[in-house]
Amino acid sequence: MRVLFAFEKRIVVNLEQVVINPSFNEDSLQNQIEILRSTKLIENVIAKLKLDRSAIFNPLLVEPEDNILTRISGWLTIPPEIADFLTGIGILKPPPPAPDATAVAERNRIAIDNNVLDGLSLNPIRGSKVIQISYLSPDPDLSARITNAIAEQYIIDQLDSKLDATRTATNWLSTRVDELKDRVEQAESAVETARAEQSIKTGQSLEITQQQLKELNASLSVMRNDTLAAGAAYDRLRSAVEQGKDFGAIEEFRQSNMIQSYREQLAQLESQKIALEATIPSTHPTLVRLNRQIEELNNNINDEAKRVVAAAQSTWVAAQEQEKSIAEEVRRLESLMLQQSRNEIQIRQLEREAQASRVLYENFLSRLKETTQQEDLQSADARVLSPAERPLYPESQAKKRTIALALVIGVLLGGGIVFLHDRLNNSFRSPMQVEELTGLKVIGTIPAIGRRMHRHDVIRTFKDAPKSALAESVRNLRTSILFSNVDNPPKVVMFTSSVPREAKSTTSTLIAIPSRQMGKSAIIVDCDLRLPTLAGLLDANDDKPGLLSVVEGGATLAEAIHEEKETGLHVLMTKASEPRSNINAADILSSKRFEKLISELREIYDLVILDTPPALVVADGRCPASGIVALSRRTSTRPGSPKCQSHLLG
């Protein structure tokens, strides 16, 4: 009769991981139990404790018992000589060939593994993340050492797994960073090349051309005024000469020294003439000579006035020529600036592309640095709460047999229930199953945070706990959507599902909120015209018009957009109170006016989310979108639904 000793050791599993798990539930805890029972971990324990050298576990080291049955069996054994004779005459069949050493060693290894596993018991503590490790063996010290070794190897295995995952992520990020670095260098080189080509073609930059054009326009304005003034002066002087006006009343003539000198001489002669006319007759030679002198002076004055008019005309013509020259230079600079502006548009486009590539490169580089640092800061997700110690009393053999029998019955009964449930339940239970049965790629999962939690509470939990598993999984899903096409991220994303009650509206709202929190403009459009839900989900029962009013022209887009108070999220809702026309909902969503509305939203917002009705329930689910996200609920959605859904959506 053997005396068996049982040992217990408890470990607690932590939720924090390098590769964040979106949920940690009973299934996750069961996964850890399977890891504790894995062949790799058990063989590491066997190698560390050299259990293969113990007869307790290695069947090759067990000595045969010397009892009456063994002796009778030896007596009944046919001697080899007789056996060979009987085989030769065909009475006995030839013995099977002896297995080779490799096969024997492999079978013995499997037997040792199974013998070690037979004494191991792993029990999760209900309502906690604690796993109780128990081991049953005839040797109390060995039981304690095996229990502690299993816990230690489990922690070592966790560290190794996390390190491998981190290194894999680091290698992928390194490759991606190198690619993005090359893309940034190419984009920036394209900008510099474009600027150099523009400088060679035009000889100067756009800024210099704009400054020169500004100065020339100012000079042209002044020159035009000078030309007008010169022309007016010329017309005025020419008219005065033609009409014989008094030159002394005109400023330009008064400024002529010759005219002034002639006028002074003329005044003296006029005075002499007046004095002589009172004393001598008009035919007197002196008066005749005096009149001739006066006439000569008047002719001289007229000639000098004509020279002043000619000078004014020359000034006017010169001003016109200078104005024409400046105007031609202005037109040349305007043409040059137009050409440079067109080139500048291309350069700015290249700069935007280079900036976008640099932002993406810096984001990946930052993530690479974080992941690289985590390689040196690894910590296990589990820790030992209470190590196993040598027990004072042996475990009752009868009690253990009863427990073992009950365990076998329970396992069989539980296995039957699980098998029956598995056969009857044909819904999706894992992302891998979704990909295998539908051929669609799973880009993310969102954990269930409570069976009875209302969707208002789900959104509230997301807002109040930004570091929770729910918030992290939503951000991961949003990143997967935007990175589904790095070069051209989707701006209009349609959320749909196969059937109702698959958290479609809740998920689309959760995806829209982080965009606002990150400074990106986002709007969510309720495209479920039959059973709108966003108004009730976001408590937006105001008097604003809805989607139908905008599409039918009864309201503008600005009048219909509702801004959620707490997050600033913009929502274009469909309201049950809106007047309905006789047009089918599917016709509205496929109309040109709705497509024009989506195009307008695409220009205004960084991200437009369309909350559409279930694809298999109604035919309204097709909307103009650059990306489609189909939702399925675990253990609820049937395998055939997403296939039909993907077929309907094209």
In this structure, are residues 158 and 131 in contact, taking their beta carbons and an 8 Å threshold? no
- pLDDT tens digits, one per residue of 585-602: 777 877 888 888 888 888
Number of other CB atoms surrounding residue 570 within 10 Å: 20
Range of lowest pLDDT (137-146, 194-203, 512-521): 194-203
The mean pLDDT value for 471-494 works out to 81
Query: In the prediction, which pLDDT does 588 show?
Result: 80
Query: In the prediction, which pLDDT does 575 show?
Result: 77
User: Tokens at residue 84, please?
Assistant: 């060979």
Range of lowest pLDDT (258-262, 305-309, 366-370): 258-262
Cα 126 from Cα 343, distance rounded (Å)? 70
Higher per-residue confidence, 237 vs 214: 214
CATH numeric code, 428-649 = 3.40.50.300
422 pLDDT band (50/70/90 cuts)?
Answer: low
Range of lowest pLDDT (431-435, 556-560, 617-621): 617-621
Cα 473 from Cα 127, distance rounded (Å)? 24
**Percentage above 90 pLDDT, the chain:** 0
The mean pLDDT value for 506-528 works out to 82
Number of other CB atoms surrounding residue 337 within 10 Å: 17
pTM higher than 0.85 for the full model?
A: no
Range of lowest pLDDT (13-27, 482-496, 513-527): 13-27
Query: In the prediction, which pLDDT does 643 show?
Result: 46
Higher per-residue confidence, 113 vs 94: 113
The mean pLDDT value for 472-500 works out to 81
In this structure, are residues 388 and 5 in contact, taking their beta carbons and an 8 Å threshold? no
Number of other CB atoms surrounding residue 291 within 10 Å: 13
Query: In the prediction, which pLDDT does 399 show?
Result: 54
Q: Residue length, the chain?
A: 650
- CA pseudo-torsion sign 258, 262, 265, 271: negative
Q: How many CA atoms lie within 13 A of 624 on its CB side?
A: 16
Range of lowest pLDDT (208-217, 278-287, 447-456, 457-466): 447-456
Range of lowest pLDDT (70-79, 164-173, 619-628): 70-79
Q: What distance lies between CA 369 and its chain's CA centroid? A: 19
Kindly list the distances between the CA atom of residue 561 and the CA atoms of 401, 540, 547, 606, in Å, as whole numbers in the listed order: 71, 11, 9, 16
Query: In the prediction, which pLDDT does 450 show?
Result: 56
Instruction: Report the mean per-residue pLDDT for the chain.
Output: 74
- pLDDT tens digits, one per residue of 147-158: 888 888 888 887
pLDDT higher than 70, residue 305: yes
User: Which among 479, 489, 445, 493 is positioned nearest to 628, based on CA atoms?
Assistant: 493
